[in-house]
Amino acid sequence: MTDIDDAPASAPAPAVRPAEAPDPRPLVLVTVGTDHHPFRRLVSWADAYAREHPGVRVLVQHGRTPRPAHAEAAEFLSPAELAGAMSEAAVVVTHGGPGSIVAARRAGHLPVAVARDPELGEHVDDHQLRFVTRLDTSELVRACSSPQQLAAALDRAVERPGEFRIGPEAGPLPEAAARRAGELIDLIAPPAREEHPPPAPVRLDSPDGPSGTDGTGWPEVTAIVPTRDRPDLVRRTLRSITGQDYPGVLRTIVVFDNDDPDHTLADDDPRRPVRVMANTRSPGLAGARNTGILAASGELVAFCDDDDTWLPGKLRRQVEVLLGAPETEIVCCGIRVIYERTEAERVLDRTSVTFADLLASRLTELHPSTFVIRRSALVDGCGTVDEELPGSYAEDYELLLRLARRAPVRTVPEAGVRVLWHRRSHFAGRWRTIATALGRLLEQYPEFRLVPRGHARVAGQVAFAEAAAGRRRAALRWTWTTLRSRPTEPRAYLALAVACGLRPEPVLRTLHTRGKGL
């Protein structure tokens, strides 16, 4: 994915007016970025507007698209020229690239965005269409998909430029306001720590449960436990689940992935039944989770890895939150991380987590073994676990992002799960898989480009994984990507150290003893 930010330094100078003869007409700046695919549609729309509105100056940075006939034209703009044009412009029209949109917003503009369409040969995939739609829904851009829409938006912007500026100021923004402009986007500026009040507590003083009648008010929960080659650990996990004080029916489905099912684990207890089955979908953690989700019959599903254990009262407290907040789709809780002989508690100091929060930070407190989810949100909503991620790495994080885009993730601010980190982890040493999966995650969620901290975090993880895999050139490339997003990102320097010969294992061991991951 390429954007204006990547324009070559040797780009030809734009056809701009000399400084000694300023043009009094309002300026419309149109930029299509540096992608090698032509964007004839947007350029022709802008050229038609220039032809029909001689009282408006239209400057089109057209890139690989043939130059317009009526508008002023520049194949590429240097960063300084782009900044100058944005400072002068009454309105900025961009393609759907994150770099272009961020540049316009940082210059104080609410950009008018036209997404490239792969079916018209304007891009390789539909990520711009999805990206612009999301931003338009959040009122972070004005999306246009027809020449009539674009002309109407430009007419309004020329007539009322204040409506296309970020912040309370109308007209040209002073430099300080322009610097603040990008901070007004909620994907860049962290939201308030607590955007939603905690749900009202559910009354449990009646022996019949929340419904106050016959106890059926407690929804049925299905705990899904994927497992492979851990017979002793999975039995301990099952004891922690079936021993919960949850008043309703709690079913457990143990899904064996690439392993023969152990049917001795099954139990037909009517209140705590345990079912054993083989993974019927794609091999891996994601396929095993989905096997359990699709086999579940209850209203709620809960995840637990086969090397983790639920603490007493964990499930009941999370279901109470779901009962008190019908709009909530997922509830998590804090964790106690056990690594060798150390233990560290990780608990969030808030009860609500947004999509923007998760772009900025993985929030390792939201461990998959803490997930309690409305099954309908997966099967009939955002979809089940992504089985396309290489090795199923980061499948839990990707699912959190999808769910958080629909509604905030709720959390119980106390530890409810003991998470065992150990050298038998399924992903221990699988650096190529980790690097590939995280790189795909950045492609799948272009919103990361709007959050330098979050983009640098994931890119830094890729850099470290590539260095640990011995792919020095790829590690250095990703390190540079990381530093461009955030020069202070520590993962970049850890990746450099590993690329220069430091073994990755001591680094991870030090982090794990503090209850932290990479």
pLDDT per residue as tens digits for the range 356-412:
899 999 898 999 999 999 999 999 999 999 999 888 889 999 999 999 989 999 999
- How far from the centroid of its chain's Cα atoms is residue 273's Cα? 36
| pLDDT at position 511 | 62
To the nearest 10 degrees (0 to 180), the angle between helices 395-406 and 431-444 is 20
Q: Residue 450 — very low, low, confident or very high, per pLDDT cuts 50/70/90?
A: confident
Q: How far is CA 34 from CA 31, 277, 329, 505, in A?
A: 9, 51, 40, 41
What CA–CA distance (Å, rounded) separates 349 from 361?
Answer: 14
Q: What residues have CB less than 8 Å from 197, skipping those under 6 apart?
A: none
490 with 462: CB under 8 angstroms? no
Does residue 99 sit in helix, strand or coil?
helix
b/e per residue 350-365 (b: at least 16 CB within 10 A): bbbbbbbbbbbebbeb
Structure tokens at 333: 């809780």
What CA–CA distance (Å, rounded) separates 211 from 291?
Answer: 31
Q: Residue 232 — very low, low, confident or very high, per pLDDT cuts 50/70/90?
A: confident
What's the CATH fold of domain 4-184?
Rossmann fold (3.40.50)
- Residue 427 predicted with pLDDT over 90: no
| pLDDT at position 512 | 54
pLDDT per residue as tens digits for the range 314-329:
999 999 999 999 899 9
Q: Which amino acid would we find at residue 255?
A: V
410 with 304: CB under 8 angstroms? no
Q: What are phi and psi of 145, to 5 degrees?
A: -130, 15
Q: Residue 447 — very low, low, confident or very high, per pLDDT cuts 50/70/90?
A: confident
pLDDT per residue as tens digits for the range 12-59:
444 545 555 678 899 999 999 888 889 999 999 999 999 999 999 999
Class of CATH domain 221-421: alpha beta
Q: What is the bridge-based pairing of β-strands 372-374 and 330-339?
A: antiparallel
Rounded to two decimals, the pTM is 0.63
User: Tell me, what DSSP letter sits at residue 475?
Assistant: H
What CA–CA distance (Å, rounded) separates 266 from 513?
Answer: 35
Does residue 410 sit in helix, strand or coil?
strand
Q: Above pLDDT 70, what percent of the chain?
A: 83
pLDDT per residue as tens digits for the range 85-119:
999 999 999 999 888 898 899 899 999 999 988 77
**Overall residue count recorded for the chain in this entry:** 518
89 with 29: CB under 8 angstroms? yes
Mind giving me the DSSP string for 206-255?
STT-TTSSSSTTS--EEEEEEESS-HHHHHHHHHHHHT---SS-EEEEEE
What CA–CA distance (Å, rounded) separates 188 from 487?
Answer: 16
Mean pLDDT of 481-489: 92
Q: Which residue has the higher pLDDT, 157 or 182?
A: 157
- Residue 514 predicted with pLDDT over 70: no
pLDDT per residue as tens digits for the range 202-211:
433 334 444 3
| pLDDT at position 272 | 95
- How far from the centroid of its chain's Cα atoms is residue 251's Cα? 31
Domain boundaries in the chain?
A: 4-184, 221-421, 431-513
| pLDDT at position 9 | 40
291 with 256: CB under 8 angstroms? no
Q: What angle do CA 217, 220, 226 make, to 5 degrees?
A: 155
Structure tokens at 120: 């018209």
Q: Above pLDDT 90, what percent of the chain?
A: 57
Mean pLDDT of 149-167: 89
415 with 308: CB under 8 angstroms? no
What CA–CA distance (Å, rounded) separates 327 from 97?
Answer: 33
Q: Is the dihedral of CA 309, 312, 316, 321 positive or negative?
A: negative
Q: Residue 188 — very low, low, confident or very high, per pLDDT cuts 50/70/90?
A: very low
pLDDT per residue as tens digits for the range 273-299:
999 999 999 998 999 999 999 999 889
| pLDDT at position 205 | 37
Q: What residues have CB less than 8 Å from 179, skipping those under 6 apart?
A: 106
